[in-house]
């Protein structure tokens, strides 16, 4: 009978470099020599041992390129896809476990006891706790005892069985559900909030502040959900509710937080919503009263991300830009004389912004979260830089370069603020450098500050700085990475909207620069036609009138 043979030598004979009879299951040569036959199967290959009979292979890692084949995050750390036993088993993660895992990832403390006030229990209690420990802390730069998102809104939503309080609770649950990824549940809570809000408005003796808070919470929901375009509608509703505030409402301890909340959204609504073209015509010059530079106005407010003084200056720039956009742009001497005081005011704003100071004041408490003063300062400084760039864009869009250059040398102005040293006319000597140089320097500084912030929580200054990145592919790539990282970590929909807007501005600016015979670097407004060239030369640079041609600009607001 024929004995079945192996197709190759056994491993023992291979190592001895002798012939093998290939007998199965063990080699007869190994049996006769009383050696262990290592068989004929597959064997792991290891580097050859040095035996002096063959050329040795060199196994040496290249430290400079050894890590290039691995996935790394933005900080250079390795990224791993960790598979656990639960993944292999296919066990479904419970809702409570998912929320606990999210809190742990964000470094937030454990769950508090389940809430049972006014029917808030089970999954609703978990959502409210998630809002309290995660969402309410991430939408402010200072999470201390002034954080009204936690310390004002939650008690208001739970303190009464009124329809207005119930609507606020549903709006809060909608925001938490959306952020945690349960969009269907979020939509259900949002619909309930709107229905209850409508019922409360039609009913007498309802809590007006709770109604106002519901409208504002729905505004925030629209910011989180990029597919929701009703942000401005809810904002106008909130403004309407404030007109019905009683004296008792206006003396409520939480009213300061509420008014700052409204002011923030209202000012950036004015930024993103241009005047109606049908309203153009002769209008009176707006009266601009600058805020006082008091310690209170210079204090950074966590809800705003900057000081109230700086936010007021942004509002003044909005007012002037709308006036310049809505008036007839003739070149007659009368028109130029009318616009001259406006330019003087804008340059006065420039001086104010260049010397603006913002301070940090923390009110610690038992529920205060982590406070990073460097991050707070950097965010406030980003707002200041972005406001200066916004101011320069407004100036260069509406005034010839020659007029700007001559006005920059010596500007005579009459202070309109009560904080001015005297009511007499004063003269401020300004640097003679062009706004173009200042814009480029500010843009570079803004990019440097953005690189120092782990997550940019304020898309408005990010958007302004990004629009000014011209002729700099590395800068544009850095901006895109910042936007992607912010959207990934914060899971707020407006980051995607901001990215689309920035790319639209870049494309339009590059196209205008190419058509004007430039180098394609007109994506932002840093390039200002200073010196010569007049209005025709400036057309290759970014103009705010082009924002209306970019899809979804009017639906965007910063968080």
The SS3 of residue 411 is strand
Structural tokens at position 558: 């910063």
pLDDT top residue among 508 and 53: 508
CA distance readout (Å), 218 to 20, 23, 108, 394, 509: 82, 80, 25, 31, 34
Least confident segment among 20-24, 184-188, 240-244, 296-300? 20-24
pLDDT for 281 equals 56
Distance CA 359, CA 362 (A): 10
Residue 113 pLDDT greater than 60, yes or no: no
Residue 406 pLDDT greater than 50, yes or no: yes
pLDDT for 303 equals 93
Q: CB under 8 Å to 241, separation ≥6 — which residues?
A: 208, 211, 212, 215
The SS3 of residue 306 is strand
pLDDT grade for 420, boundaries at 50, 70 and 90? very low
Distance CA 239, CA 427 (A): 40
pLDDT for 527 equals 28
**What radius of gyration, in Å, describes the C-alpha atoms of the chain?**
32
pLDDT for 110 equals 41
pLDDT for 536 equals 31
Adjacent-strand bridge partners of 426:
413
pLDDT top residue among 439 and 514: 439
Residue 139 pLDDT greater than 80, yes or no: yes
CA angle 322, 308, 525 (to 5 degrees): 45
Distance CA 533, CA 369 (A): 53
Which CATH number among 2.60.40, 1.10.730, 4.10.240, 3.40.720 corresponds to the domain 1-61? 4.10.240
pLDDT for 69 equals 46
Residue of 320, 442, 466, 423 lying closest to 381 (CA atoms): 442
Distance CA 287, CA 301 (A): 26
Residue 413 pLDDT greater than 90, yes or no: no
The answer to whether the beta carbons of residues 494 and 459 sit under 8 Å apart is yes
Distance CA 190, CA 169 (A): 10
Residue 74 pLDDT greater than 60, yes or no: no
Distance CA 162, CA 333 (A): 61
> Phi and psi for 429 in degrees, rounded to 5?
-85, 120
Least confident segment among 378-382, 396-400, 493-497? 396-400
What mean pLDDT is predicted for residues 126-140? 93
The answer to whether the beta carbons of residues 346 and 391 sit under 8 Å apart is yes
The SS3 of residue 77 is coil
What mean pLDDT is predicted for residues 371-389? 95
Residue 168 pLDDT greater than 60, yes or no: yes
Residue 377 pLDDT greater than 80, yes or no: yes
User: Between the CA atoms of 108, 114, 119 and 124, what dihedral angle is there, to the nearest 10 degrees?
Assistant: 40
pLDDT digits (tens, 9 = 90+) for 422-459: 333 333 334 435 778 888 999 999 999 999 998 999 99
What mean pLDDT is predicted for residues 354-372? 92
The answer to whether the beta carbons of residues 346 and 421 sit under 8 Å apart is no
For the chain, give every domain's residue range: 1-61, 95-250, 274-555
What mean pLDDT is predicted for residues 339-361? 91
Residue of 169, 164, 165, 167 lying closest to 115 (CA atoms): 169
Q: Where are the beta strands (DSSP E) in 286-409?
A: 300-301, 306-307
Residue 61 pLDDT greater than 90, yes or no: no
The SS3 of residue 299 is strand
pLDDT for 457 equals 92
| Mean pLDDT computed over every residue of the chain | 77
CA distance readout (Å), 230 to 6, 227, 258, 448: 76, 9, 20, 35
3-state per-residue secondary structure call for 211-272: HHHHHHHHHHHHHHCCCCCCHHHHHHHHHHHHCCCCHHHHCCCCHHHHHHHHHHHHHHHHHH
Which DSSP string corresponds to 433-452?
S-HHHHHHHHHHHHHHHHHH
Q: Give the rounded distance of the alpha carbon of 21 from its chain centre.
A: 74
pLDDT grade for 41, boundaries at 50, 70 and 90? confident
pLDDT digits (tens, 9 = 90+) for 196-212: 999 999 988 899 999 99
Strands 410-413 and 306-307: unpaired
pLDDT digits (tens, 9 = 90+) for 319-335: 999 888 877 554 444 46
CA distance readout (Å), 407 to 88, 90, 301, 413, 434: 71, 71, 34, 11, 11
pLDDT grade for 381, boundaries at 50, 70 and 90? very high
Residue 278 pLDDT greater than 80, yes or no: no
pLDDT digits (tens, 9 = 90+) for 459-499: 999 999 999 998 788 889 999 999 999 999 999 988 988 98
Residue of 363, 279, 357 lying closest to 323 (CA atoms): 279
Residue 68 pLDDT greater than 90, yes or no: no
pLDDT grade for 64, boundaries at 50, 70 and 90? low
pLDDT for 482 equals 93
Residue of 440, 433, 439 lying closest to 408 (CA atoms): 433
Count of Cβ atoms closer than 10 Å to residue 117 Cβ: 14
Q: How many angstroms separate the first and last alpha carbons of the chain?
A: 86
CA distance readout (Å), 432 to 23, 404, 528, 531: 96, 10, 15, 11
Distance CA 291, CA 313 (A): 8
Distance CA 211, CA 262 (A): 13
pLDDT grade for 26, boundaries at 50, 70 and 90? confident
Q: What is the pTM (predicted TM-score) of this model?
A: 0.71
What mean pLDDT is predicted for residues 546-550? 44
pLDDT grade for 254, boundaries at 50, 70 and 90? very high
pLDDT for 426 equals 34
What mean pLDDT is predicted for residues 25-49? 80
pLDDT for 505 equals 85
């Amino acid at each position: 009978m024929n004995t079945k043979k192996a197709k190759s030598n056994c491993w023992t004979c291979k190592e001895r470099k002798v012939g093998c009879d290939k007998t199965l299951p063990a080699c007869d040569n190994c049996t006769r020599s009383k050696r262990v036959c290592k068989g004929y199967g597959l064997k792991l290959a290891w580097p050859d041992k040095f035996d002096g009979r063959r050329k040795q292979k060199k196994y040496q890692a290249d430290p400079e390129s050894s890590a290039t084949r691995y996935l790394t995050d933005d900080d250079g750390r390795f990224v791993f896809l960790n598979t656990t036993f639960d993944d292999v088993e296919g066990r479904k993660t419970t809702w409570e476990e998912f929320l606990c895992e999210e809190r742990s990832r964000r470094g937030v403390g454990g769950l508090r006891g389940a809430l049972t006030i006014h029917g808030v229990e089970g999954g609703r209690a978990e959502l409210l706790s998630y809002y309290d420990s995660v969402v309410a802390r991430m939408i402010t730069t200072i999470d201390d005892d002034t954080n009204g998102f936690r310390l004002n809104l939650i008690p208001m939503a739970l303190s009464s069985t009124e329809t207005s309080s119930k609507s606020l609770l549903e709006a809060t649950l909608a925001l938490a559900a959306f952020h945690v990824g349960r969009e269907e549940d979020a939509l259900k809570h949002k619909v309930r909030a709107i229905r209850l809000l409508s019922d409360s408005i039609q009913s007498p003796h309802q809590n007006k502040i709770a109604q106002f808070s519901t409208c504002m919470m729905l505004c925030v929901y629209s910011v989180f959900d990029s597919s929701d375009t009703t942000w401005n509608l809810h904002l106008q509703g909130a403004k309407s509710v404030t007109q019905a505030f009683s004296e008792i409402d206006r003396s409520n301890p939480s009213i300061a937080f509420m008014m700052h909340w409204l002011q923030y959204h209202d000012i950036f609504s004015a930024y993103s919503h241009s005047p109606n073209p049908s309203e153009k015509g002769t209008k009176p010059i707006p009266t601009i009263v600058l805020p006082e530079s008091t310690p209170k106005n210079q204090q950074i407010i966590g809800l705003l991300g900057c000081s109230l003084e700086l936010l007021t200056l942004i509002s003044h720039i909005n007012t002037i830009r709308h006036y310049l956009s809505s008036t007839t742009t003739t070149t007659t001497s009368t028109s130029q004389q009318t616009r001259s005081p406006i330019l003087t005011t804008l340059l006065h704003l420039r001086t104010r912004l260049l010397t603006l100071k913002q301070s940090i004041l923390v009110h610690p408490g038992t529920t205060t979260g982590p406070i990073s003063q460097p991050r707070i300062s950097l965010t406030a400084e980003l707002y200041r830089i972005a406001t200066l760039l916004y101011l320069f864009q407004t100036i260069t869009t509406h005034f010839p370069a020659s007029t700007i250059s001559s006005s920059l040398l010596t500007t005579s102005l009459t202070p309109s603020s009560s904080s001015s040293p005297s009511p007499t006319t004063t003269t401020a000597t300004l640097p003679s450098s062009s706004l173009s140089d200042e814009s480029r320097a500010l843009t570079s500084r803004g990019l440097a500050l953005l690189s120092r912030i782990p997550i940019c929580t304020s898309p408005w200054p990010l958007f302004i700085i990004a629009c000014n990145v011209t002729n700099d592919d590395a800068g544009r790539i850095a901006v895109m990475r910042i936007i992607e990282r912010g959207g990934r970590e914060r899971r707020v929909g407006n980051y995607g909207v901001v990215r689309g807007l920035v790319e639209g501005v870049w494309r339009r600016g590059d196209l205008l620069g190419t058509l004007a015979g430039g180098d394609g670097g007109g994506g932002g407004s840093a390039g200002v036609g200073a010196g010569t060239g007049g209005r025709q030369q400036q057309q290759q640079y970014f103009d705010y009138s082009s924002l209306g041609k970019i899809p979804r600009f009017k639906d965007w607001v910063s968080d």
